Structure 1
Amino acid sequence: MRERFGFVAKQKSESVWFHAVSMGESIAAKTIITELLKQQPHLNIVVTTTTPTGARQIIEGLGDKVTHHFSPCDLPGTIKRFVRRIKPKALIIMETELWPNWLHHMRKENIPVVLANARMSQKSADKYLKIKSLSTSMMQSFSKVLAVGEHDCERFIKLGVSPENCQTTGNIKFDQEFQLNGANGYFPPWSSHQDAVWLAASTHKGEDQLLLEAHRFVIDAFPQAKLIIVPRHPERFDDVARMIEDNDFSYARRSDAESWESSVDVLLGDTMGELMLAYELADVAFVAGSLVPVGGHNMIEPAVLGKPIISGPHVHNFQEIFRELEEGGGAFKAGTARQISDIVIELFKNEAYREKVGNQAKAVVEKSRGALKRTVKALVPFL
């Protein structure tokens, strides 16, 4: 609570202030900061986040390389106190987090503000246009807007950002690197199993039963089909195992080699840190956390491996990424067991179509890479 009102430790030297709201923005901020510290190890960086999940990303990912605080409230006295204590020479705001008092005070103090990995949907732009005088004032406070796409850049300019201060750099999240961390594959009995393995990745409570129902439909149409189901949280492994049994599926557990049989219907992924191996084995990937309002999980992981992607309707944590994948022909949205199974069956039946969709998902990622390099280059003059 003290941090929310600007009561933070005083910095001994000027800092670079990064602000990220929650998990998605924090992942992008962490990527930028890591690259900046490679180039300029002595940078003094302060990171603020709004949510505990965002804080966890920064603290676990960057540790003592940065100073973390929860973000100050948008009150004049609070922001003055906070700025006085952290001594920022620049503020880099991730994505779209606009606070009038923050921006007004930074402009008054001649501290440059950069909006990085910036997004502006048409819906949000329409809302800002309803308060045009305030939104124009805020937009003119930015020294630079680094937009993820051309349409975003056009909307920022329409709202008041000068064209020379708006630059399209791409989405940093596409520059993440992923490692395949196992030499012997994920499930050896299925290593030669062709064209019929689908994966439900990072499932949450309320999703597993629906996905098992979808698998029943898939098996009815495609008897040799197999399902890998990987719960997001280890404390749910045993509950999901019982659920698989209750649905009368034969199954193996990734952690128990004695249970490994090629004839099983379902593999329960009850280990941690091996999701990329599971994606590699699968022919089709359902990215969970999206049938319930969690906000989805990272679709880039299966996309870089050229896998067709299915997601539920709740993708707000990765909305822009999913939109690009969907528009690029590499992803589908489905909200019911029947809708999911219909897509899986169609992909299983048509190998050429499945490969085309997977290649289109991979192409979206490859086309979008390079944003990190462009963003860092644009930030250097402000540091």
Structure 2
Amino acid sequence: MLLYRLVLHLALPLAAPFLWVADRRTGKRRPPLRMRLGLGLPPVPQGGVLVHAVSVGEVTVARALLSELRRRAPQVPLLLSATTATGLELASGAQVADATLPFPLDLPAPTRRFLAATQPRLLVLVETELWPEMLAACSEAGIPVVLVNARISDRSFPRYQLFAPLLRPLLAPLTLALAQTEGDAARLVALGVPQEKVRVTGNIKFDVKPARPLAEDLKARLCQLASGRAVLVAGSTMPGEEKQVLSAWMKLPDRPFLILAPRHPERAQEVLELCRQLGLAAVRRSPLPAAHATADVVVLDTVGELAALYQLATVAFVGGSLVPTGGHNPIEPARFAVPVVSGPHVRNFAAVYRELEVHGGVKLVHNVRELQETLAHLLVHPQQAQALGQNAQAVLAKHAGATAKTVEALLPFLP
């Protein structure tokens, strides 16, 4: 802990100016620093369950978990914290917790203030949110800590192994770790979590449904813009990827209507400008459905709508995968039996993609040419596209139930 605190205290002041400049350049938003220092937190119900999820992907897991907790333990206060501004925005809009808060910086004073303000009976951390200072503070205060939907990726495990001797004492405060797969469980044990503290409960993401239904007026406007054409939804795209998607889309014989959703909404204007440079009729989603202009491309600039928008897709491309950033969640389009196409870089959801591949529920491509050919094939052969989507939907049904198993493991910690 001394080494950790020393590194963090030295690194934060050095990193802060670079983060500030990067945020101004990209338009990225962060939660108020004052609140991340544990200051000025609003009054919240105390003595409940605090679920922490870093950003949008983890918040969707937390939302499903909180909904089931509310059903099983309606008398227990529920709090939800997140690290990023987009995560907090989605958390606040989900309305499944009694209050939402920014998670504190992992320093002694902010952590103590945060725990004093919330006084949780139980802290639940989603996936790999293991903050040593918070773990140590909870251990000192006698607050049980449960890691849920835990996963250790193929890429990160070797790095963690290098520091396993240092990690063991930092992981000691964990009361329970609920892993997605047997492989994740074995890795947690290898890193120092005692075998008796580790269980496999499955991947909650297989149970996750859209945070909110698609507004009927927006749905009608998008269908009007599509004018009977097929619809391609390219979701969670990363820098450099939109250009590749647009290049493949422009070569399709009959261009489908395109909904392009950058992973970070603050990049929407940048993506819109790229479309216009290519001579495309494009519009941001935010003025819809009121806007009357025609468009071939809609650029999503809102938080929490993508999962529901997939229901309009004839075919979906899941981004972060043609560029080496690890890929994003293919379960969201698969829930609607939409055929899914992704690039080769899918390590963040490796286990999910393996299941989909084995059961013929996804198409992986390696470059723009393969993307264009695969999209063209699926659009021309609707029966094959339908089979692909139905296979993916069947995989989700096979793995459903992780949320209920996870909540069952949490109930003994509650009154």
TM-score of the superposition, structure 2-length normalised? 0.71
Q: Does 1:378 align with 2:412?
A: no
Which residues in structure 2 correspond to 1:172-211 (within 5 Å)?
Answer: 172-178=204-210, 187=223, 198-201=232-235, 207-211=241-245
Counterpart position of 2:9:
none
Please, what is the CA RMSD of the aligned residues?
4.0
* CA distance in structure 1 between the partners assigned to 2:408 and 2:42 by the alignment: 30
Who is 2:365 aligned against? 334
1:228 aligns with 2:257: yes
Alignment partners' CA distance in 2, 1:156 and 1:180: 38
Corresponding residue to 2:91 among 49, 52, 58: 58
Q: How many residues align?
A: 365
- Contact kept, 8 Å, 1:312 with 1:334, in 2: the verdict is yes
**Kept in 2: contact 1:72–1:82 (CA 8 A):** no
Distance 1:269 1:330, change over 3 A: same
1:334–1:203 Cα change, 3 Å: same
Which range is displaced more, 16-25 or 270-279?
270-279
Q: Following TM superposition, by how much is the alpha carbon of 1:380 offset from its aligned partner in structure 2, in angstroms? A: 1.2
Aligned to 1:263: none
TM-score normalized by the length of structure 1: 0.76
Deviation per CA, 1:331-376: give whole Å up to 9, x if none. 2343532121122234356566434432322122112211111111
Match of 2:57 in 1: 24
* SS at structure 2 position matched to 1:167: strand
In the alignment, the residues of structure 2 paired with residue 9 and residue 376 of structure 1 have an alpha-carbon distance, to the nearest angstrom, of 27
- Structure label with greater radius of gyration: 1
Match of 2:248 in 1: 214
Number of the residue aligned with 2:398? 367
Cα 1:314–1:126, aligned 2, differ >3 Å: closer, same or farther? closer
Identify if the C-alpha distance between structure 1 residues 369 and 124 changes in structure 2 by more than 3 Å, giving closer, same or farther. Answer: same
Note closer, same or farther for the CA distance 1:80–1:215 as it changes in structure 2 (3 Å cut).
closer
Superposition pairs of residues 95-110 of structure 1, within 5 angstroms: 95-110=127-142
CA–CA distance in structure 2, aligned partners of residues 209 and 67 of structure 1: 36
Superposed, 1:237-252 pairs within 5 Å as 242=276, 246=279
1:153 aligns with 2:185: yes
Q: 1:10 to 1:358 in 2, by over 3 A?
A: closer
1:274-293 deviation per Cα after TM superposition (whole angstroms, max 9, x unaligned)? 86787556443223465568
- Work out whether 1:358 is the aligned partner of 2:389: yes
Q: Structure 1 residues 294 and 157, CA, compared in 2 at 3 Å: closer, same or farther?
A: closer
State the match for 2:4 in structure 1: none
Cα separation, 1, equivalents of 2:184 and 2:413:
22
Match of 2:156 in 1: 124
Aligned equivalents of 1:237, 1:283: Cα separation in 2: 22
> Aligned pair 1:41/2:69, yes or no?
no
DSSP-derived class of the 2:173 partner: coil
- How far is the alpha carbon of 1:96 from its aligned partner? 0.7
Displacement after TM superposition at 1:93 (Å): 0.7
1:10/1:338 Cα in 2 relative to 1: closer, same or farther (>3 Å)? same
Task: Determine the C-alpha separation between the residues in 1 that align with 2:193 and 2:369.
Answer: 46
Asked if 1:5 corresponds to 2:37, the answer is yes
Q: Which runs of 5+ in 1 are unaligned?
A: 220-224, 261-265
Q: Percent identity?
A: 34
CA distance 1:282–1:56, change in 2 (3 Å):
closer
Residues 52 and 103 of structure 2 are in contact (CA less than 8 Å); yes or no, is this contact kept in structure 1? no
For 1:248 and 1:54, the matched residues in 2 are separated by 30
> Equivalents in 2 of 1:256, 1:59: separation in Å?
25
2:194 matched residue in structure 1: 162
Deviation track 1:236-255 (CA, whole Å, cap 9, x = no partner) reads: 897577467x3699xxxx96
Letter in 2 for 1:57: L
C-alpha distance in structure 1 between counterparts of 2:227 and 2:412, whole Å: 51
**Distance in 2 separating the partners of 1:329 and 1:92:** 35
2:165 aligned residue: 133
Deviations 1:121-151 (A, max 9, x none): 2433322222223322233322211111121
Checking the alignment, whether the CA contact within 8 Å between 1:45 and 1:67 is kept in structure 2 is no
